[in-house]
Chains A and B, each alone.
Chain A
Amino acid sequence: MKSKSSRIYYYMIIPAVVLFFTFHTYPALQGIFYSFTDSKGYGTYDFIGLKNYINLFKDGRVLNAYFFTFKFSVISTILVNVISLILAIALNSRIIFQKLLKSIYFLPLVLSVLIIGYIFNYIFTYLIPDAGKAIGIEVLSKSILGNPELAWIGIVFVAVWQACAFNTIIYLAGLQTIPVDLYEAANIDGASGWQQFRYITFVLIAPFFTVNMVLAMKNFLMVFAHVVALTGGGPGRATESISLLIYDGGFNGAEFAYQSANAVIYFFVILIISIIQINFLQKREINL
Chain B
Amino acid sequence: MQKSKVNWGASIFLILGSIMILFPLYITIVIALKNPQEIAQSVLSLPKKLHFENFIIAIKMTRFFRSFTNSFIITVSGVALTILTNSMVAYAIARNMHKKFFKFLYFYFVSALFIPFAIIMLPIVKQTSAMGIDNKWGLIFLYIVYGLAFNIFLYVAYIKSIPISLEEAAILDGCNVWQVFWKIIFPLMAPINSAVMVLSTLWLWNDFLLPLVLLSKRDDMTLQLVQYVFQSQFRTDYNLAFASYLMAMAPLVIIYTVAQKWVVSGITKGAIK
A and B are partners in one complex rather than unrelated chains: yes
Interface residues of A (CB under 8 A from B): 4-6, 8-10, 12-13, 16-17, 19-20, 23-28, 30-32, 34, 41, 87, 89-91, 93-97, 101-116, 118-120, 122-123, 126-127, 130, 161, 166, 169-170, 173-174, 180, 207-208, 211, 215, 221-222, 224-225, 228, 242-243, 246-247, 250-251, 256, 259-260, 263-264, 266-267, 270-271, 274
Contacts of B89 in A (CB 8 A): 12-13, 16
Please tell me which one of the listed residues A5, A41, A109, A259 contacts residue B177 in the complex, with CB atoms under 8 A apart.
A5
> Would B120 and A31 count as touching, CB distance under 8 A?
yes
Q: A9-B92, A242-B118, A250-B122 are in contact. Are A170 and B14 (CB under 8 A)?
A: no
CB distance from A119 to the nearest CB of B (A): 5
- Tell me, yes or no, whether B166 is within 8 Å of chain A by CB: no
CB distance from B75 to the nearest CB of A (A): 12
> Would A17 and B206 count as touching, CB distance under 8 A?
no
- Tell me, yes or no, whether B57 is within 8 Å of chain A by CB: no
> Would A115 and B227 count as touching, CB distance under 8 A?
yes
Of the candidate stretches B20-28, B62-70, B155-163, the one touching chain A is B20-28
- Tell me, yes or no, whether B153 is within 8 Å of chain A by CB: no
Q: A8-B178, A12-B89, A104-B22 are in contact. Are A23 and B10 (CB under 8 A)?
A: no
Interface core residue of B10, B15, B93, B112 (most chain A CB under 10 Å)? B10
- Tell me, yes or no, whether B117 is within 8 Å of chain A by CB: yes
- Tell me, yes or no, whether B142 is within 8 Å of chain A by CB: yes
Residues of chain B from 108 to 129 with CB closer than 8 A to chain A in the complex: 108-109, 112, 114-127
> Would A118 and B120 count as touching, CB distance under 8 A?
no
- Tell me, yes or no, whether B267 is within 8 Å of chain A by CB: yes
> Would A90 and B13 count as touching, CB distance under 8 A?
yes
> Would A170 and B268 count as touching, CB distance under 8 A?
yes
> Would B11 and A118 count as touching, CB distance under 8 A?
no
CB distance from B144 to the nearest CB of A (A): 8
Chain B binding site: helix, strand, loop or mixed by DSSP? helix
- Tell me, yes or no, whether B193 is within 8 Å of chain A by CB: no
> Would B27 and A122 count as touching, CB distance under 8 A?
yes
Inter-chain contact count A-B, CB under 8 Å?
Answer: 245
Contacts of A222 in B (CB 8 A): 116-118
CB distance from B139 to the nearest CB of A (A): 12
- Tell me, yes or no, whether B164 is within 8 Å of chain A by CB: no
Q: List 11 A-B contacts (CB under 8 A).
A: A8-B177, A25-B112, A41-B122, A105-B18, A106-B260, A107-B253, A109-B263, A224-B208, A225-B208, A246-B121, A247-B118
The distance in angstroms between the C-alpha atoms of A189 and B224, with both chains bound, is 55
Residues of chain B from 87 to 102 with CB closer than 8 A to chain A in the complex: 88-89, 91-93, 95-96, 102
The distance in angstroms between the C-alpha atoms of A251 and B264, with both chains bound, is 38
The distance in angstroms between the C-alpha atoms of A135 and B218, with both chains bound, is 46
> Would B20 and A161 count as touching, CB distance under 8 A?
yes
> Would B267 and A228 count as touching, CB distance under 8 A?
no
Please tell me which one of the listed residues B21, B24, B123 contacts residue A123 in the complex, with CB atoms under 8 A apart.
B24
Q: A9-B177, A114-B228, A127-B43 are in contact. Are A263 and B116 (CB under 8 A)?
A: yes
> Would B177 and A115 count as touching, CB distance under 8 A?
no
CB distance from B25 to the nearest CB of A (A): 8
> Would B116 and A266 count as touching, CB distance under 8 A?
yes
CB distance from B270 to the nearest CB of A (A): 10
Q: Residue of B at shortest CB range from A166?
A: B267
> Would B115 and A119 count as touching, CB distance under 8 A?
no
Interface core residue of B27, B142, B171, B238 (most chain A CB under 10 Å)? B27
Q: Residue of B at shortest CB range from A126?
A: B43
- Tell me, yes or no, whether B137 is within 8 Å of chain A by CB: no
Please tell me which one of the listed residues A20, A26, A93 contacts residue B109 in the complex, with CB atoms under 8 A apart.
A20
CB distance from A81 to the nearest CB of B (A): 14
- Tell me, yes or no, whether B5 is within 8 Å of chain A by CB: yes
- Tell me, yes or no, whether B189 is within 8 Å of chain A by CB: no
> Would A115 and B249 count as touching, CB distance under 8 A?
yes
Contacts of B114 in A (CB 8 A): 267, 270-271, 274
> Would A169 and B268 count as touching, CB distance under 8 A?
yes
The distance in angstroms between the C-alpha atoms of A28 and B119, with both chains bound, is 6
The distance in angstroms between the C-alpha atoms of A26 and B112, with both chains bound, is 12
- Tell me, yes or no, whether B50 is within 8 Å of chain A by CB: no
CB distance from A264 to the nearest CB of B (A): 6
B 212-242 binary contact with A (CB < 8 Å = 1; else 0) = 0100000000001001100100000010011
> Would A34 and B256 count as touching, CB distance under 8 A?
no
CB distance from B130 to the nearest CB of A (A): 12
